[in-house]
Amino acid sequence: MPVKHPKVAVLLAAYNGMQWIEEQLASIISQSAVDITIFISVDPSTDGTEAWCAAFCATHERVFLLPDSGRFGGAARNFFRLIRDVDFEEYDLVAFADQDDIWYSDKLLRATQMMSLRQADAYSSNVTAFWPDGKKILLDKSQPQVAWDFLFEAAGPGCTYVFNKELARALKSSVIRDWDQLQKVSLHDWYCYAFARSHQFSWFIDSQSTMLYRQHAHNQVGANTGFASLFQRYLTIHEGWWFNQVREIAVLVGKRNDPFVRRWLRFRRRDLFMLSLKGGQCRRRLRDKFLFFFVCCLTAVVGKKSD
């Protein structure tokens, strides 16, 4: 049976967020049928975000600003800091939040219901991307999970992630233990999904959109729609960033010595040709399976710049 009015710790990472953070916090505070506590970590900003958050926390008893911890330089390190420093013990669930989105009022209620129904340790969902001109697009991330997708992609936007206490504790232990190595990981949502799946925690990806996912010039990771985004994704692979991230995450989550992973982890030419044939096991979306095959083959032929 689901917990009635579960207690949820919401971890919100902020940086130069004055344009959007008030609207986002209002949407989190108004969540239905859950008891919310919000923990905010601000990467040193130039627009007054820290001072505004401090004033907001002073008038909202369930919203807390973590002490200054220096510059993070990216959302991933900020979220890892939140996982490390927030005490989850009195909460039933832990959720991630970005500073610039708008949550539907039943976002967390649906997460708790679906986690209970599916007996899942973690939850993520589709989102509705929206732009300043009013354009909206459903971003579908809910394709069936496959054997090894977690080493090659996230489970969707991290701002939809919800974890039960057992998984949150395990994540905290891993972040504390591997803190220095985690500084090389650029995407916290990818790492958290990989950690959960590789440690046998069950994950449900919901086909229903639970929030508005704001698109603007300062998105660290955006909606990835259209040919331009596909080309940009190819460039990050060709430049070597993506291969390096796959390697770092595979090692961090303990998959270095798995027979499947050992066959390609060095990303030599023959490794890439072999890996290209495994696209069906490595990506969820059909389009991405074909892109995976193409990129692995092309990189094997022309090499990547980090070689």
Question: So what's the pLDDT on residue 3?
Answer: 62
Whether residues 197 and 238 share a domain: the answer is no
* Domain ranges, residue 268: 226-302
Domain containing 72 — which CATH number? 3.90.550.10
Place of tokens 């790492």: 191
Whether residues 249 and 281 share a domain: the answer is yes
Whether residues 145 and 177 share a domain: the answer is yes
Question: How far is the C-alpha of 168 from the C-alpha of 163, rounded, in Å?
Answer: 6
Name the domain boundary from 161, 189, 214.
214
- The 10s digit of each residue's pLDDT in 228-249 is 555 565 566 556 788 999 999 9
Whether residues 75 and 187 share a domain: the answer is yes
Range of lowest pLDDT (4-18, 76-90, 293-307): 293-307
The count of domains in the chain is 2
Whether residues 109 and 247 share a domain: the answer is no
Question: How far is the C-alpha of 225 from the C-alpha of 72, rounded, in Å?
Answer: 28
Question: How far is the C-alpha of 184 from the C-alpha of 101, rounded, in Å?
Answer: 26
Residue 307 placed within a domain: no
Question: So what's the pLDDT on residue 306?
Answer: 46
Whether pLDDT at 307 is above 50: no
Name the domain boundary from 172, 193, 214.
214
Whether residues 46 and 166 share a domain: the answer is yes
Whether residues 28 and 177 share a domain: the answer is yes
Residue 219 placed within a domain: no
Kindly report the average pLDDT of the chain as a whole number. Answer: 92
Cut 0.75: pTM above it: yes
DSSP-derived 3-state class of residue 184: coil
- The 10s digit of each residue's pLDDT in 77-88 is 999 999 999 999
Whether pLDDT at 143 is above 70: yes
Mean pLDDT of 252-278: 95
Whether residues 210 and 239 share a domain: the answer is no
Place of tokens 């080309």: 231
- Do residues 119 and 201 make contact, with C-beta atoms less than 8 angstroms apart? no
Residue 123 placed within a domain: yes
Residue 25 placed within a domain: yes
N-terminal to C-terminal alpha carbon distance within the chain: 53
At 218, is the pLDDT very low, low, confident or very high (cuts 50, 70, 90)?
Answer: low
Whether residues 107 and 187 share a domain: the answer is yes
Whether residues 107 and 144 share a domain: the answer is yes
- The 10s digit of each residue's pLDDT in 163-174 is 999 999 999 999
Residue 195 phi/psi, 5-degree rounding, is -60, -50
Whether pLDDT at 305 is above 50: no
Residue 220 placed within a domain: no
Residue 2 placed within a domain: no
Mean pLDDT of 240-268: 95
Whether residues 194 and 270 share a domain: the answer is no
Question: So what's the pLDDT on residue 203?
Answer: 98
Residue 252 placed within a domain: yes
Name the domain boundary from 214, 239, 274.
214
Whether residues 154 and 180 share a domain: the answer is yes
Radius of gyration, alpha carbons of the chain: 19
- The 10s digit of each residue's pLDDT in 104-125 is 999 999 999 999 999 999 999 9
Residue 76 placed within a domain: yes
Token output for 36? 């919310």
